[in-house]
A and B are shown apart, each in its own frame.
Chain A
Amino acid sequence: MMEIILSLGIGALAGSGVWLILRPRTFQVIIGLSLLSYAVNLFIIAMGGLRTGAPPILTTPAAGDPSLYADPLPQALVLTAIVISFATTALFLVVLLASRGFTGTDHVDGREPEP
């Protein structure tokens, strides 16, 4: 059940993200990128295997059965990916504003399409 909900969630986020990236307005593109990066982050977690209530670090000094623990590596990867995508989104936002200032439009090509 959890698997189905998670994959539906990833699918919905990725689908909306792709659709928004292909839209002509810069603001839609940036929202699309954010949605897509959420989908990718969830996907990374899912690739580590889904488990409820399992800690990612050993709780007792003695090494236990690895199947009782969640895989810590994807969680570390996701943290890195979140930080990086946050930084690049902020950077893109600046470029978006600069482009708006230079061209006076929020179209990705810097000019309105001919009617």
Chain B
Amino acid sequence: MNRMADHLIIAPVVLPLLAGAAMLLLGERRHGLKAAIGVASTSALVGIAIALLVKSDAASDSPTSAISVYRLGDWPAPFGIVLVVDRLSALMLLLTSILGAAAVVFSLAHWHRAGAHFHSLFQFLLMGINGAFLTGDLFNLFVFFELLLAASYGLALHGSGAARVKAGLHYIVVNLVASLLFLIGVSLIYGASGTLNMADLAARIPDVAAENRSLLEMGAGILGIAFLLKAGMWPLCFWLPTTYAVASPPVASIFAIMTKVGAYIVLRLWLLLFGAETGESAQFGGEWLLYGGMATVAFGAIGTLAAQDMARLAAFSVLVSSGTVLAAIGMGQVAVTEGVLFYVVSSTLGIGAFFLLIELVERGREPGANVLAVTREAYGEDDDRDEDEDQIGLAIPITMGMLGLAFIGCALMIAGLPPLSGFIAKFALLTAALNPIGTTQGGSVPAASWTLLVALILSGLAALIAMTRAGIRSFWAAPDRAMPRVAATEMVPIVALLILCVLQTIQAGPVMRFMRATAHSLHAPQDYVRAVLPPAEQQARKAGGT
């Protein structure tokens, strides 16, 4: 392995940092140059993520070689901070960079001029997200979380306005409190186990003394609350819909991955620390994830039905998506994890595209039209019956046609209907949940699986109803509405995201094989521990243990 390839691991953190810092030095008016740097940096990130993904997937001969470790300052693992790339990290990096590239290109039309330092903040946000996906150290995770949150505070307020400032105020307070909980959890875990390195922690948990075990579980629980708040689990999610709905579209689109950061950490840490082989603490808190996730799905589904505009509808779909992910993680089975990884990719791409699309669709309408429309519907007033005759033979403008097709694509992805990948994801997830043994050999299906099935199907139905209603209101409206002016740079990212969904559908076989390998390595945390800790350390531990 040559030296340059090793340093590629830290590039997803360093590159956005340098790009963002360089843009701070440029003058306020140099939008063109800043845009060029932003696009160059995010597209380089896509390339780096693909390289890391190929690298971690190619090494299939032994389980540990799929995990590459980058030791900062070359300090050995439990003492220094490590960055770890395995299949899951590489996958999430790729997802982030694709969504980031789409959002940056979309913002070039006009959103990046709506406030100061958009591109810098965006790069810092990418840096924080990438760091959180890469790090193998709990406190370093806190630092990256704070980085991404600090950037997201700025981005949530991008474009300013009373509604954004009000939602941003709530968002900041909730997340600051969550950060303090994060710190309490981290320090409790440190006090109980004496380490902050995730791999070292996983190796130590089976041997934690009985009197420290409740302290450790308390720490893990408090830490979990901090992550679940970011992932938007009910009842910790009331800040989310408003913040996401009022954020500017490119920002909301990249925020779609931020709930997945919380879910990623839960997936990673829970399986690493409380996997099947960790002795007394095994599967700690799994039921909370399962039932909390289902409650989130239910809350999100009701929210999508009640939403009066598309932005809120999309924000509640984020909740449904993260609830599904959390509930499925809580099942704690390899096959379900496979399905959930597939679902994460498809739902994040779909929701990201939808957030971008909303603004284009709503551009031609006067504000408040949605509320009027829904109210009219509720009171049974129908005012456009007499317009039917003049609409026959009216050509649909190409812009509206494109927007309509993209809208249908998003609706299929979010509701999980065939033929797009949202359906395959839900199908894989539910098949696995209903066959807990892994084969179709009879056996009773646990009640939790049935509940999950019902929750997922009903949430899909709710999403479909809500999307159809929103679609009818905006696409089948009276023809005298102003035609939205859409720039090519705004349409291309949406189409690209949807094409990726189509590709994911066509290539479902290879993608599913990758997800299977990922899920299997996640459920075998000893490989992760072995890859991160140096051999000498493990020898010492084994000698001490026996």
Contacts and interface: CB of A to CB of B under 8 A. Distances in A.
Contacts, number: 88
A91 B169 contact: no
B180 interface: yes
B520 to A, nearest CB: 34
Given A44-B183, A80-B139, A110-B166, A95 B153 contact: yes
Given A43-B187, A73-B190, A95-B153, A21 B177 contact: yes
B305 interface: no
Given A80-B139, A84-B146, A92 B173 contact: yes
A103 interface: yes
A26 B184 contact: no
Given A43-B184, A84-B146, A33 B190 contact: no
Contact of B168 (A29, A81, A95, A109): A95
B176 interface: yes
Interface string A81-115: 10011011001100110110011000011100000
A85 B145 CA distance: 13
B166 A91 contact: no
A61 to B, nearest CB: 19
B170 interface: yes
A70 to B, nearest CB: 14
Contacts of B173: 21, 29, 33, 92, 108
A42 B196 CA distance: 18
B82 interface: no
B500 interface: no
Interface string B160-188: 11100110111011001101100110111
B179 A102 contact: no
Contacts of A77: 139, 186-187, 190
Nearest to B189: A47
B191 interface: yes
Contact count band on B:
20 to 34
Contact of B146 (A43, A88, A98): A88
Interface string B461-504: 00000000000000000000000000000000000000000000
B150 interface: yes
A40 B184 CA distance: 6
Contacts of A29: 173
Interface string A31-55: 0010011001001100110000000
A74 interface: yes
A50 B157 CA distance: 42
A34 to B, nearest CB: 10
B155 to A, nearest CB: 12
A103 B172 contact: no
Interface residues of A, number: 31
Contacts of A99: 165-166, 169
B187 A95 contact: no
B143 interface: yes
Contacts of A48: 190-191
B150 A47 contact: no
A44 B187 contact: yes
Nearest to B157: A95
B140 to A, nearest CB: 10
Contacts of B170: 108
A10 B187 CA distance: 14
Contacts of B165: 95, 98-99, 102-103, 110
Contacts of B146: 84, 88
A108 B169 contact: yes
A95 B180 contact: no
Contact of B176 (A92, A98, A109): A92
A109 B88 CA distance: 40
Given A84-B146, A108-B170, A110-B162, A40 B180 contact: yes
A99 B172 CA distance: 12
A96 B177 contact: no
Contact of B150 (A21, A43, A87, A102): A87
A24 to B, nearest CB: 12
Nearest to A97: B165
Choose among B154, B162, B186, B187 the residue with the greatest number of A CB atoms under 10 Å from its CB: B187
A40 to B, nearest CB: 5
Contacts of A88: 146, 149-150, 153, 172, 176, 179
Nearest to B166: A110
A64 B143 CA distance: 32
Contact of A74 (B154, B166, B190): B190
Nearest to B171: A95
Per CB-CB distance, the 3 closest pairs between chain A and chain B, nearest first, are A47-B191, A102-B162, A47-B187
Given A33-B180, A36-B180, 11 more contacts: A33-B177, A77-B186, A80-B143, A84-B179, A85-B180, A91-B153, A92-B173, A95-B157, A98-B160, A99-B166, A103-B162
11 contacts: A21-B173, A33-B177, A40-B187, A74-B187, A74-B190, A85-B176, A95-B153, A98-B160, A102-B161, A103-B166, A108-B170
